[in-house]
Each structure stands twice: as C-alpha cells, then as structure tokens.
Structure 1
C-alpha cells in the first residue's frame, strides 16, 4: 500500500511539474522590421534552447519563473532579455545589426590583409579544436522541407500537377518531415543516435529519413561534404592547405560577451575551385570558429543543385564552442523542375562529459523503433522546437487527411485499377505488373524485349518468367518465380521454379529453393547479356557466349551471424550436359567473319568439352565488413557504406559418390576489397585482391572450374573485378590463382582545370588489373579514361608478361 501511495504521489508531482511549464513564443525581427530567420534562442548560461523558423517565429516550453533569454543570429548583436514567465508568454525581439569596424586594426606594410594572420592562427589551432571534446551527447531536432516552385505542365505525357499533388501553378511542398533524437559521439568517430519521434506529412506510418550525422559539418576538418554533393568534397576555409584555395578579407571586428570577434570574408582564388564563398567569424583570443555563413555554387562542382547555403551558429559550452543550429538551404533546376528547400538542425542540452554504458557504440548509428511515429499532435505541439510556418501547417493537415483516405480499400482499389491497366508498352518495354496493395501482393510479368533473343546453340529463343510476391508484416516477404525457355533451333524446352522467403529483415535472413532445368553460360559470372550476344551474332557474325544445359535442385540460406558478418550456404545437385551449335543463321554476312563452335577451346569443330556428369556440391561463404555500421528500423537492418575493407572467405566442395555424383574437389578462396578510399582533393581509389586454390582437384569438369570476369566486346557493364581484354573462357582454372584490380578516380581534379572540359564535369580514371595462374602467368592490363554519371570510355593495354597482346577502347554504361 505504501509503495502504491508513493508511486501515485510521484506521478502527481511529475504531472504538476509538467503543468508548471510555460510556453514562451514570439517573433524575431531586425531594426528595420524584417524577420530574422533561424535565429538561436536559448536560456543564458545553459545549452537549453531552440531556433526560430524561416518566418522568424520561435516557441519553446520553460519552467515557470524568471529567466534570462539570449537571442543570437549571425550578423546581429547578441540580445539578452530577463523575462518573468506567465501563462502563454509572448516576447518579441528586435535584433540590431552588428557593427564590424576596422578600428584598431593594424594594416601591415607589405599590404597583406590582417585576416591572413588570423586565419594562420586558426589553422594552427585547428587540430586542437578538432579534438578538444572527446565525447558528448545532445538532443537534436531536425526539420526538412523540399518544395517545387516551378515545373512543366507535362513530363513524359503525365500531368505534373496531378501526379505530384501541386497547386494550379504547379507549386507545392513535396516533402515535409520532422524528427527528434538523442545523439551520442565519441572520438575518433563513433556515433549513435536514437530517434525519439518522427513525423512525415502524408505518410502516417512512415519513418523520417532525417539523420543527425548527415547534418554534421565540421569546419575543423580539412575536407567537407565528401562523397555527398561532390565526390572530392570541398576545402575548409581553415584547413591546412586553405591558402592554396582562398583569399581572405577582414571585414571588421566587434565585441561580444567581452571577447573580440573577427568577421572574415572568404573568397576562392579560382572560380571553379572546390571552395566556399561567404563569411566566417573567428574569436580573437582562442581562434575558435564562432559562426559561419557560406555557400557553394555550380561552379564549385556540386551535383544536382544550383546553390547550397550553409549557416552554422555555435554556443559556448564550458571552454569550447558547440553547434547550436545548422541550416542547409538549397535550390536547383533539373529538366525544368525548379526546386528549393532547407534542412535545419537544432542542438540542445549538451553533455560534454558523458558516461556511456558498455557497448553503447556497437556499429548501430541510428535506432528507430515502432513507437517513434506514434506521437500525437499534442506531443508535437509541446515538443516541436521550431514552430511550423502557415504553409507547413496547411501541408500537414491536407496530406494527413488525404493519407487516411489513401489507406481505404475503396481508394486502393481505384488506384490499382488505373495502375494495373494493361498496356502494350508496359508488356514490351517495362514489364507488366498487377499490384494489390490492400492484399499486399503483386504479379510481375517480364518485359518481352528481354525475352526474345538469339544464339547459335538455341537459335531464336524465348525466355519468360512471372514473379509472384507476397508482402508480410515488418518488411518480410516471399516470392515464387516460374520461368520457361524454348529454343526454336535445338527444339529444347527448359523450365524452373524458384522461391525465396525473406523471414528476418533485421538479421537479413532468408531461405531459398530452386529446381528445374535451364540453359546457362559456361562462365558462371556470365559473358554477355542475351541481347548483347544476339546483336553480335546476328549483325557481326560473332557468337561470344557459350552455353550448357543444367538440370538442378538447390537449397540455401543466408543470415547475419554478427554485426558485419554474413554467412551463406548453398547445397546443389545437378546434371550437366554439353551443348553444340544448331544454327548458323545471321542477318548480315561479314567477309572474314565466321561463327565459332560452342567449345571455346576448339572453335572450328563441335568437339565435346565435357561428358554429361552429375554434381553434388556445397558452397559456403563468410563475408565480413570491418567497422560495419548500420541503421536499425522496424522494417529491417540497413548497412551503411564502410570506410574499411570487406573480407570474403569461400569454400566449395564437390562431393563424389553420393547420389551418383561424379565430381570430387575442394576449393578455397579469399578476397579483400574496398570501395571509395578517400584521397582528398585527388579523388578516391578502389581495389579488389583475391586468391584461391583447389586443395583437391581429382574430378573437376569445366563448369566447376574457377572462372574470371573477362571481356571480348567493346561495350559492357562496369565491374571493378572485370578484365578489359581477357577471354571469357580460355583461362579458367582448376588449380591455384591470384588476381588484383585497382582503380583511381580523380573526380575532376584534372579536367576541372580545362575550360572546355570543365562544364562537362568529367571524372578522370586510371586502373590496373593483374592475373596469374598456371596457364596465364603475369597477365596485366593498364587503362585510363573518362567517366560521366553512368557512362565511361577507357583505352587500355594488355600484356602477357612483357609482351603486349591487346589494346583498344572499352565503353561501359550503367551502375
């Protein structure tokens, strides 16, 4: 009874204490009556505060009593107000522009701007300021708004106003989202964030994609925004090499809270350098960065955007300065779609001496639970640090109302009737899909253009499949796919059925099964696409791809065993049959060209490459990503790109005797790879190094050998593991091997200096590939080229030892 009474008393006290909180709100303007957007508002001598919105309106809850409120904005004098809070206190603020003067500043005899010496001292202190806070926690509020401010009436025949739910002027908010979270940091780069609440306009069940770590921009780092808006990133104005990229001008000095603040204009030395423009504010005693108001333009190499403005304000915490808010404002124009928007982050309640529990930093950089999007309107009314604008409030009300309608069966059925309407273009080009979102299932029919092909083994052929998918709760699903294939020349019909059950998204776990028969490439990595081989065969009388028939049954499973460690095992049984050419039809007969046999080692005659054999195999793979980070959401676990290598260990065994299996071998392999290793302003590098050996190769038929990703054609898909000139089939092995691939992308470091090439935003690349095995020792390729988006052109040379054996252009497309 006593415990019950105590509990009730504590609950009542907690409620009363909460009830004593008063909402303080108001509008912040300058002395000319113009609103001051995104000004910082906080309680003096604390890190508790908020930010005004884009209209200069602020609001936050405070305990009843008398407090001193500090109003601060870049370019304005700091304002303090002592306020006695009563019910619904409204306190407007007028900020006076700060007067930065050059009074007392010494101009050197050599004509050097005094800003240069201040910057030198700031650079000298950079490393110390970068590491002076070992760890901290903070509360973070993020709001993201993306708006369309202009668009064409139609795009690919679709009415833009109706498709994007815009007003009659084709303007409106495309995305509006808010989130609150607890963010933790520990050197040398450990982060963990737990989302507390999430709200997305028009998507009541969605989780915000806001992430505090995405808003981090630390000017004490040498390179900023790397691999985001630009591959190379941008040089900080106080980086170690800043004087190579910037000129500085001291605008003036002012006094704030007893300390001298220097206002310095930063100016890129060259128009197209990856450098910021704008203004930074540096203290005169400790050389801390106090504020920054900078921007980037298309000339600097940002992708997709025309302009990006970054405003960052700092708050004094003990003897250092921490961000109080950061604001990214952007605009752009893509294919006539004019857009703009902003992301703002507000930081409060800093603790720079946290005591983290054991395993607090375990690779999980963001945790989102089911409860985060269940907060009601009352919660957001009391806990939203930045008030909504009138436009944002209307957008929430309208889209949330529409979202309720869109979950009804009547609406979903009407949408499905429109989307599921049959069309010839769909069937031919994109594939035809029948969705039933209410029942959470779909049927996807393959596009016909990929289903009709030609090769010299099957002649003209058809391959067609239908995929049925059933979506379950929490992103679980299963699919079933029947597929049939028929060759009109060899009169062979094959068919298969495959199924996959993705039963644990958090552990990325699935089980799979497949059985049937099919025609497969002799190289298990594939040689060319069916369409590419068809074009080469019909028009250039070159049949690159070689095939065999497999009747098979496979069962497998994959699962995360620990963070970054993925395990997979597949057991398979097959009957494999050699195939021969059955037709030599071609549309164009080229002089000097002739089809080769289906045996790559005996191109002139159809000699059997291997006898019909049975194979029982077990294939096990462990993949470990060093330093793997991830996001946990109720609908799955999402790995993030790692800064460290990926290690893959594979063991495959061919089992002799059991089920009349004819193969007998054991193969082990190890591969280490890493993508996008930063080289600063020089771009990034990627590499793959692999080696393997058959520990036992008593019976290894050609399809069971270790194959390599070769290339015999001018045009192909990009793949770092692919050789540019290596034959698809000739150098497979049943013994030991080692291969290495390295590529460096300069990301415009060179072409950006050439006026005519600069506008094309080309990326320069160089690379080398190496292979050694018993019949192909010391094979090396070198290449160089240019890349833009998904297209690449390269010129390369291939050497057997010191002897050049091939050279020429190679074109690639795709991701």
Structure 2
C-alpha cells in the first residue's frame, strides 16, 4: 500500500513540476485611444529583468510559465499601464489600449530676456549633479540583447521603376518594399571602466546591406549620462547629451508638466539647442523626480540643423526600467530614421531589447582580453524555427513575407544552374571597370580567385624604360579553415632599355586569428629608389608625358627574400625578414612627351644630380653592389580591441597611440654582401583622437639613426613619404605635402613629426551659405630634421568632403620659404 501511495505522490509531483516548467505564450495587440497600433512599446514583468517590445504593428508576445504577473506597458507619449495577468495552462491573448500621457502644468517662473524656464533649470541641475553617480552606479553586468533592424523604400521615382530598378530592389508597383532586415541575439558583458565583451549567438541578414548599420548590441549602447554622444557613420562630429556637465551651454529647458507613474513623479522636459543647435538634440527627456534620474528620452537629430550624413532625420528613443535594488537600466533603445537620396525615400529602424540583467558578475580573470565581439561559428546557421521561438519581437506580416521571399531566392541561388549562371556573369570582363579596378575571376565556391591588375598599372611610360608593359596577376586559394595561399607573378619589359624583369611574390596566411603570415619573393624587378613610395606607375606616366616631370627614379634589383609575421600576444605583432639583393644603377633612355615644354626638361635618373645636368646624365649615384639584410620590427598597440569571426580576427583602432620599433642590419662578407650598416627607428602614432565637439586629431612622431654606416648605398637610406606634383595622398598622417622624394633622404640621425586636425565643420558651419555643403576644415603641420637638411617645415589648411580634398600650404627649409601651392586628392592613389 505504501508503495502505491509513494508512486501516486511521485506522479502528482511530476505532473505539477511539468506544468510549472511548461511555457505559454502571452501575446496581444497594443493600440492607442483611437485604435491605432502603438509601435515599439516596452513591455516587461514587474520586479524582473525580463521584457519585450511590440513590433511596428503593435503586436507583442511573451513566453511565460504558469503564474501571476504584473505586466508593465510603457512608451513615450502614453501613460504607463500595469495589468495583472494570470497564466494557468494555456496561452493568453491580452490586448491593451494605452491612454495618452497627461502632464499637469507646474508653476513656472519666466525671467530674463531669454525666457529661461527656471523650474526646468532647477530640475536639470539636480539631474546633472547626479550624472556621474548614475554613470558609475553599476560595476559590472551581463544581459541578453536582441537587435532588430529594418530598412524599407517608401517612395521611388516612377521613371526609374520601369528600368529594372524595381526588379533589382524587389519593389511593388508603387515603389515600396523592404530593402534590408537583420536580427541578432547576443550575450553582452560589461565591467567598469569601459570593458566590454559581446558574444553573438545567432545572427541573420536578408537584402541589400545599408550604408550604415547598428546590428550589434555594442552599436546600441546608448548612455546619455555620458557627456558626449556619438553615432558612427551619422556625423563626423559628436553631440552633447542633455545631461552633460556643460549642457547648459548648449541647451534650453522647458518644463511641460508632471505626472504620477507607479507612485513616482515624472517630469517632462522639452529640450532645444542654443544658437544654431548643431551639437544638440531637440525633443523630450523624462526625469524621475526625487531620484533625479532619466526615466526615458525621445530625442531627434535632423540633417537641416545637425548636418547628418545619409539621413534626413534620426529619432532616438530609450526606456529605463527599475530592475534591481533601485538600479535602473535600459529596457529598450530605438533608432528610427528617414532619408531621401535622389528621389528614393526610405525609412528604417534599429531596436535593441535587453533581458535577464545580472549585476556584480564575477567574470573570470582575463575574461576581458580585448575581444569586444565574438561571432559564434554557428551564428548564421539558425533556421526559421529557431528565430520564431527565440525572437522577442514578432515579425509583422510584411517582414514575414519578405523573409520568406528572400529565403526562397536564397535557396534558388544555391542551385547548380543559378550558381553557374551567376559565375558566368561575375567573371565577365567589363572594359571600364578593368581600366581602373582590374578584373577578378573566382570559382563557384569563391575558394580560388584570379585577379588581374588594372590597365592603368599595365601600360606605362618613364624615362628609364620608355614605353613599358607591366603584366601582373594574383592567384589565391582559401582552404576550408580559412588559410590562404597566393602567388603574384609579374613580368615587366621596357622597350627603351630592353630589360625584361620577372619575379614572383608568394604568401601563406596560415593563422587568420593571430596574423600568422609567411612570405617568399624572388626574381628581378625595376624598383623605386625611395622604398616608402613616391608616385604610382599611372600618375608618374601622366606627369612624365604631360608635363615633362619624371619624378620617380629607378634602379634594378635581382633579389630573393623570405619573411615571417605573427601576433606574439594581443597587441604585439612581430615581423622579420631576411633578404639578398644585387642592385644596379639605371639611366635615362627615352625622352618622349605629348606637350613640348620650353621651360622644363627631363631630369637625370640620379636624384642627387643638379637640375642643370642633361637628362642623359651618367653620373654615378652608387656602384653595383650586393646586400644581405635582416629586417625586424615589433608593433605595440596598447589596449588592442578586436572582433573574432569564424573567418579570423578583425583589429579595431585603439584609443591609445601605437608604438613601432624597427631594426635593420646589413651583414657584410656573406655571399659577397657589400653593405654594412645598422639602423634603428621608433615611431609613435595615433589617428582620429576626438577633441570634444571640435573634430579629431592625428599625429605621428618618428626618430631613427644609423648606429653603423660603414657601407651604405642610396637605396639603404631612410626615405620619407614626400610629394611632388599637384595630386597627393592624405590618407596617411605620416606624409608630406611638398617634400622632394629623394633630396632629404637620411643617412644618419633624423626626426620627423606630423600633426593634423579635422574640425569636422565646426568653423564653416557658422557661415550660412556654406553650411549645406558639409565641408570639413583641416589644418596641419609637418616637420623634418636630419644631419644634411635642418628644420624642414610645412603648414597647410584644407577642405574635405567624403573622398575629395583640397589643401593649400607653404613649406620652409631653415629660414627660407621653399614651396607653396595647392594639393588635391580625389580618391585615386
């Protein structure tokens, strides 16, 4: 009898346990008082860290166990609503109608000629006083974050819809359609101060990727307690938070009223910018009175006022909720944007939902090792069933149809006939792209590829080789574990000097997670005497034939070298190589031109010969020599952060300078080596150091010396990245505007310094008719001193818009003005 009783009790326990473990769906539709759906309402269980958000049509869903719940519904513009819901043994449908927020006006004192709202000012001063406390309130936490993005076209020019654009973009007859969808689920981990690690468990994308995206949890870490607010890709400058320590210099505040929500008094503050308002938001910020913390924000940036890129308006909405012991954290964050490009009007959003907060997490030692994001190897393999079960925001009917359509297209694209057709189309040679960008051919799996270098690097002219052909291609193979091996064969022939050069460069990328490279090169080539680069074959051909400026000077090398590179530890990369070369001086052999110049003649191929010598000068710059050389370098990137993907590691810019130490030694007497020297150098550099609202700075400092220069030839000197001619390349902060390519090359100690600041429009923005151009103002200076050339200096100012830039500068050698003029850049190097 006891046996049967125990079995009965056990059965009852199992049934009860199973019932309690069973998950049911709480779902519903959220509308306003007029019956219109309310999008992106924050919905969460009271006294928990579990929540969700309604979709664009106001539909929401929860997975909950049996029990009683107080469910809170909250969104800016509506009164917070708390509903008591009981889950028993079935799914529950619970629709919600939200009431408009009603804020009772307080007594407001208007004083001064600027109509300052003193009540709002008093409130905001108290909020700002507690800014640092709330900024540093949480030492560590982890959370599950769901990020959803969508972009759709809402209007398109009718003339373009008939030209295949509608089919390519998958639009309906009215020019409407979803262009892009993405969603991801991540574990987000944070430890003060500023240590982050995000692990993406699942990720999905469909459609044409937009120019900017925020589809990671770290992209949506919006914290208005920070003084400065930045949105990557949206603007070249930052914005001031309405609760920044100096916010009163940028904002005016107006108290719209107060209301009672769940026993708390919530003040509604309208914010607007002072002056032109470029660095400030407009909109509303809601404050918990007494605690003086942010309750929610509803803020806006506009292209007209804030000079945005790509979009016309950007709305930012954020909801804070109490999750533990009076700690408030974001329940959701939303970016919603509108834009118009050439008549194509679009809108989109990114929304992040935060769940399952855990505070004061004891992360293991070394957990925050610089890896800020890791994409799980199976993140992209999740099927539709997984997403249906795990996404907290249900798809709208339109989004569901779009996913289904694009999934069907994706299945079609994986069939053999489609892949063969696509491969044939991709591997076609198109003349215009080939001229500038080259030609790429890949196999079906994109594991093997052939790249043929563009025509503008194939046919060339210079005064040493005359008209020449430079035939160059790259063949590569990538294995299943993403290791890559490649070779670059090169044939070069000059019709004037009748020299054929043939060489092969090869590489093996054996460790994509630690920058593991092996390389080996051998053959003959015609090389630039300045080994850090002067002008490309294309630009040197143009300057030579069009203006009789044969800037680049060449020599011939028969060489062989092997090398190795690897990351020794996070932020420390070692590179070493051993090379042997037989170097021979070359002379001019051809003097062709397109336009005859009576004032300018070709110069000698000896860069140190006076300009007065004839172009056929045969003066000796160096005798034929051999060199066996060891090159080593160590690069230190402090606080190196990176992203780990299944294909390898992606390094991110550091907020600290990078230090590189180099050592180069020529070993005499081995294999007939003539060169004998020891060279050391060190450089410190950093790019895009943000300077508040005034843009960003970049700098580089480098110093070096030859500890031993017993046998040193011109190509062994330390050369600098100079510039001659009107065009220049500003993408590297260590370059000069006017420095000759060869005359300042150093054979002893040297020091060079570079500084540049981009004001990001903060000056020209004050000039009305220039404001709409969104120009960025640039100033900079370059300095070089070495034993033979003391105190070379350059100063310049410039204007930039996207890839286009124009600079005007002046240079000095010692106390004398050297060169001044204009330099331009338009994206081609």
Q: TM-score, normalised by structure 2?
A: 0.93
Find the counterpart in structure 1 of residue 79 from structure 2.
77
Secondary structure of the corresponding residue to residue 298 of structure 2: strand
Closer, same or farther in 2 for the Cα pair 1:786/1:272, shift >3 Å?
farther
Match of 1:101 in 2: 104
The answer for the alignment partner of 2:252 in structure 1 is 247
Verify: 1:119 aligned to 2:121, yes or no: no
1:678-757 to 2 correspondences below 5 Å: 678-718=690-730, 719-757=732-770
Q: Deviations over 1:541-565 (max 9, x none)?
A: 1211111111111222212111111
List alignment gaps of at least 5 residues for structure 2.
1-10
**2:294: which partner in 1?**
289
Tell me, what secondary structure is at the counterpart of 2:280? coil
Structure 2 residue 595 is the aligned partner of structure 1 residue 588? yes
1:449-478 per-residue CA deviation (whole Å, 9 max, x = no partner) reads: 331111111111111212222222243322
What is the SS of the residue equivalent to 1:146?
A: strand
Q: Note if contact 1:369-1:633 (Cα within 8 Å) is conserved in structure 2.
A: yes
Note the C-alpha offset of 1:746: 0.8
Q: Which residue of 2 aligns with 1:677?
A: 689
| Residue in 1 that maps onto 2:222 | 217
Number of the residue aligned with 2:63: 61
Which residue in the other structure is 2:8 paired with? none
Give the superposition deviation at 1:439: 6.1
Alignment correspondent of 2:5: none
Instruction: Quote the Cα distance in structure 2 between the aligned partners of 1:653 and 1:109.
Output: 75
Match of 2:309 among 303, 307, 325: 303
Which residue in 1 is equivalent to 2:493?
A: 486
Pair 1:261–1:427, CA change in 2 (3 A) = closer
Partner of 2:39: 37
Cα deviations by residue, 1:641-694 (Å, 9 ceiling, x for unpaired) = 211111111111111111211111111111100011111111111100011111
Do structure 1's residue 90 and structure 2's residue 93 form an aligned pair?
yes
User: Does the 8 Å contact 1:706/1:732 carry over to 2?
Assistant: yes
Structure 1 partner of 2:319? 313
Which of 602, 608, 611 aligns to 2:609? It is: 602
Pairwise CA distance, 1:152: 5.4
Q: Distance in 2 between matches of 1:240 and 1:28?
A: 38
User: Which 10-residue stretch deviates more, 643-652 or 499-508?
Assistant: 499-508
Indicate the residue corresponding to 2:586 in structure 1.
579
Take 1:515 and 1:123, find their aligned partners in 2: how far apart are those partners? 65
Aligned residue number for residue 409 of structure 1: 416
**Match of 1:632?**
644
Once the two structures are TM-superposed, the CA of residue 803 in structure 1 deviates from its matched residue by 2.7
Q: Secondary structure at the residue paired with 2:626?
A: strand
For the residue of structure 1 that corresponds to 2:822, the secondary structure is: strand
Comparing 435-444 with 744-753, greater Cα deviation is found at: 435-444
Give the deviation of 1:491 after TM superposition. 1.2
> Relative to 1, partners in 2 of residues 1:427 and 1:349: Cα closer, same or farther, differing over 3 Å?
closer
Answer whether contact 2:250 2:277 (CA < 8 A) is retained: no
Q: How does 1:384-783 map to 2 (within 5 A)?
A: 384-438=391-445, 440-603=447-610, 604=613, 605-718=617-730, 719-783=732-796
* Contact kept in structure 2, 1:568 and 1:621, CA below 8 Å: yes
CA distance in 2: counterparts of 1:575 and 1:160, whole angstroms:
57
Q: Distance in 2 between matches of 1:296 and 1:474?
A: 44
Displacement of 1:157: 12
- 1:216-365 to structure 2, matched below 5 A, reads 216-225=221-230, 227-271=232-276, 273-299=278-304, 300-317=306-323, 318-365=325-372
Whole-Å separation in 1 of the counterparts to 2:711 and 2:111: 85
Distance change >3 Å, CA 209–CA 322, structure 1 → 2: closer
Deviation larger for 726-735 or 394-403? 394-403
1:27 matched residue in structure 2: 29
Is residue 272–residue 301 contact of structure 1 (8 Å, CA) maintained in 2? no
SS of residue in 2 equivalent to 1:473: coil
Shift of 1:304: 1.1
The alpha-carbon deviation at position 594 of structure 1 amounts to 0.9
Give yes or no for contact 2:214–2:350 (8 Å, CA) kept in 1: no
Which moved further from structure 2: 690-699 or 193-202? 193-202
2:725, 2:783 → 1: CA distance? 19
Q: CA deviation at 1:158?
A: 7.9
Equivalent residue for 1:812? 825
Tell me, in whole angstroms, the C-alpha distance in 2 between the residues paired with 1:197 and 1:671.
Answer: 41
Distance 1:778 1:249, change over 3 A: same
Distance of 1:158 and 1:502 partners within structure 2: 44
Q: CA deviation at 1:41?
A: 0.9
Cα 1:14–1:329 shift into 2, 3 Å:
farther
* Cα deviation, residue 67, structure 1: 1.5
Against the structure 1 CA distance between its residues 169 and 14, is the aligned structure 2 distance closer, same or farther, given a 3 Å change threshold? farther
TM-superposition CA deviations, 1:684-715 (whole Å, max 9, x none): 11100011111111111111111011112121
* Superposed counterparts of 1:132-281, under 5 Å: 132-151=137-156, 159-201=164-206, 210-225=215-230, 227-271=232-276, 273-281=278-286
Cα pair 1:674 1:688 within 8 Å, conserved: yes
C-alpha distance after superposition, 1:713-743 (max 9, x if no partner): 1211113111112111011122111111011
Moved over 4 A (4+): 12-15, 108-111, 151-158
Distance 1:17 1:601 in 2: 90
Query: CA separation in 1, counterparts of 2:171 and 2:666?
Result: 61
Q: Distance in 2 between matches of 1:387 and 1:156?
A: 31
Inter-CA distance 106–720: structure 2 relative to 1 (3 Å threshold)? closer
The answer to whether the Cα contact below 8 Å between 1:467 and 1:481 also exists between their aligned partners in 2 is yes
Note if contact 2:116-2:252 (Cα within 8 Å) is conserved in structure 1.
no
Q: Distance in 1 between matches of 2:459 and 2:277?
A: 49
Could you tell me which residue of structure 2 aligns to residue 6 of structure 1?
none
Q: In 2, are the aligned partners of 1:151 and 1:160 still within 8 Å (CA)?
A: no
Is the alpha carbon distance of 1:17 and 1:532 closer, same or farther for their aligned partners in structure 2, counting shifts above 3 Å?
farther
CA distance in 2, matches of 1:313, 1:223: 19
> For 1:680, what is the secondary structure of its paired residue?
coil
Q: CA deviation at 1:216?
A: 1.2
What is the root-mean-square deviation of aligned Cα atoms in Å? 2.2
Deviation of 1:427 after TM superposition, in Å, equals 4.1
Structure 1 residues 745 and 13, CA, compared in 2 at 3 Å: closer, same or farther?
A: farther
Aligned to 2:3: none
State the alpha-carbon separation in 2 of the partners of residues 520 and 106 from structure 1.
77
Distance in 2, matches of 1:155 and 1:362, equals: 50
2:568 counterpart SS class = strand
TM-score (norm 1): 0.94
| C-alpha contact (below 8 Å) 1:67/1:84 kept by paired residues | yes
User: Structure 1: 5+ residue runs without aligned partners?
Assistant: 1-8
Quick one: structure 1 residues 154 and 190, their matched pair in 2 at CA, closer, same or farther if it must change by over 3 Å? farther
